A = this chain, B = another copy of it.
Amino acid sequence: MARLVYERADLLPLLGEVFREHGFEGASLAVISRRTGLGKGSLYHFFPGGKEEMAAAVLAHVDHWFETQVFRPLREEPDGRRAITAMLEATDAYFRSGRRVCVVGVFALAESRDRFAVKVASYFSAWIDALAGALGRAGHPPDDARALSEEAVGLIQGALVLARALDDPAPFARTLARLKARLVPERPAP
């Protein structure tokens, strides 16, 4: 029999897409089985805790990606403007310019929020904290930086909702462009 290579880590991107598209409640084991090509037995072998463990692993995987690709650079890059520009580019790439929604946002709005409350909250607060720091280094006064950061993260989530609701990625692209103009203006800072 053809031992098709899988380890748990290989499954996470596939599972991520399933939860992103269907939400936690809507992602049935039948769908997960079809999309991963694995039977229920294999899925329970990798994730003994069942669907909840799969979703938790996906959230951890997403969180790790953002931590290394977005949050840490935001915190550590000394040039705040460069840090923010990189964040906007990574964000655009990750959300495929609005064709992909945020699985954490999807979980946040549904019943699943309660089940994954800690992970959902920490993802957003880590993002807001890291961005506020970079905005400060980019020259925004501390109080403005905090408010602007919260607004930017909310705006990204809202643009994803709009893009999905209107079935059109353009609102997301326009929003990122406007965000860039506000967060990294041509002249060093307001």
Instruction: Please give the residue numbers on chain A whose beta carbons come within 8 Å of chain B beta carbons, in ascending order.
Output: 21-23, 25-26, 101, 104-106, 108-111, 113, 117, 120-121, 123-125, 147, 150-151, 153-159, 161-162, 164-167, 171, 174-175, 178
The closest CB in chain B to the CB of A110 belongs to B23
Query: Do A166 and B124 touch across chains, with their CB atoms under 8 A apart?
Result: yes
- Closest Cβ of chain B: how far from A107's Cβ, in Å? 8
Name the B residues within 8 Å of A164 (CB-CB).
108-109, 113
Query: Do A105 and B109 touch across chains, with their CB atoms under 8 A apart?
Result: yes
Query: Do B162 and A175 touch across chains, with their CB atoms under 8 A apart?
Result: no
Query: Do A154 and B151 touch across chains, with their CB atoms under 8 A apart?
Result: no
What are 23 A-B contacts defined by CB distance under 8 Å?
A: A21-B111, A22-B110, A23-B111, A25-B110, A101-B109, A104-B165, A105-B109, A106-B109, A108-B165, A109-B109, A113-B164, A113-B167, A120-B165, A121-B165, A121-B166, A123-B165, A124-B162, A150-B162, A150-B174, A153-B162, A155-B158, A158-B158, A161-B161
Q: How far is the CA of A190 from the CA of B162 in the complex (A)?
A: 26
- Closest Cβ of chain B: how far from A164's Cβ, in Å? 5
Q: How far is the CA of A105 from the CA of B105 in the complex (A)?
A: 11
The closest CB in chain B to the CB of A154 belongs to B158
The closest CB in chain B to the CB of A159 belongs to B154
Q: How far is the CA of A101 from the CA of B111 in the complex (A)?
A: 12
Given contact pairs A113-B164, A151-B155, a sample of 18 additional A-B residue pairs in the complex whose CB atoms are under 8 Å apart: A23-B110, A25-B25, A26-B110, A101-B109, A106-B109, A109-B110, A110-B110, A113-B165, A113-B167, A123-B165, A124-B165, A124-B166, A147-B174, A153-B158, A154-B161, A157-B157, A158-B158, A161-B161
